[in-house]
Amino acid sequence: MAHSMYTWQLDNWPAYSFDQNSAELWTSKALAASHKILGAMAVVPESLGSEAKLDLLVSAAIETSAIEGESLDREDVRSSIKNHFLSPNEKIAVHDPVAAGISALILEVIDLYEEPLTAERLHHWNELVLPAHNSGPFLGQAGMAGQWRAHSDAMQIVSGPVHNPTIHFEAPPSVRVPEEMQRFLDWFEDGSRALPGVARAAIAHLWFETIHPYEDGNGRVGRAVADVAVCQMLGQPLMMSLATVLSRHRKAYYQQLNKASKDTLDVTPWVNWFGERVVEALEGAFDVIQYVVKKARFWDGLDTESLNDRQLKLIRRMLGQDAPSFENGINAAKYQNLTRCSKATATRDLQHLVAEGVLAPIYSKGRYARYKLDL
């Protein structure tokens, strides 16, 4: 069996090709989904629209890091993004520089998506996602963040034992990076505008990841490049979290990128897969907006006078930023833990919430009874 060649080793690199019709179809589907979001936002009160936007941006920051195996504190990310919209004397302390950096990147993408993509911008983004690399004990031989890699060793993505690693991908030698990136940036700014938007975003992300221009942070910066391209396609700031969807399909995402970086420059399967993810992300954003509105209506219709402090605490937690921890509902044991009450009180409180139409049973048999908000 012939040995695979990386696409950057092919004679016609980087002349990517794709099926025009399918790329146009995915682009039109993305635009239709985007118009649906705009329609929903037009009838949503401004405060709720801001809440939906905040939820989406927090998710984008957390999930683009999660793809790389990095876990960020949701509260720090939320505070970092909220600070962007607050006056200096209202700003909230953020303890994690990584959360602050990735949040700043997400915000810059949506605020400045129309600005030209340059080496300087990419370097700045790389510094944002790797704040520790430029200070103290984290400054290694590989050099600082915010500059093209320059080491002479091969840039490889590997797994398995050190003595017998599996090489999944090898990027072009470092000496080629400045020239390769200039060619990429020229294409992005001047040579790609006529392409269907989904194809342009898909190829931009793939091309950037193939060059792998930095020592670290390539995935997060490369997804920011894709976000910029999607914003430009839609002609508006991104009201979606592409990273959330890519994180959900993490294994397939890496498989698709890996396949598209070998043997052929016909990237039709990658463009189709990526287009499907963009539409999925836009549809997910629409669902977030609907959920935020539903939450507000639910709260407005609540008879708080008939509920005790324990019950109100539960509802606030289930509707607030802790909502993901209640995906499987609430049971008596979890309620006891949350409100520090007895088992009998927990059972009585939960049954009262069901009677009031606040909770609906997911499963109602004895001690296994579990409930969700009846939104």
> Nearest-CA neighbor of 275 among 218, 232, 237, 226?
226
β-pair type (359-363, 370-373): antiparallel
pLDDT of amino acid 239:
72
pLDDT of amino acid 55:
84
> Nearest-CA neighbor of 285 among 232, 222, 234, 358?
234
Ranges in the chain, pLDDT < 50: 1, 134-142
Q: What's the Cα-to-Cα distance from 166 to each of 160, 161, 170, 252, 373, rounded to whole Å?
A: 6, 8, 11, 18, 47
Rounded to two decimals, the pTM is 0.83
Could you tell me the domains of the chain?
7-293 (1.10.3290.10), 302-373 (1.10.10.10)
CA-based end-to-end distance of the chain = 57
pLDDT of amino acid 3:
60
pLDDT of amino acid 43:
79
> Nearest-CA neighbor of 230 among 123, 116, 110, 122?
110
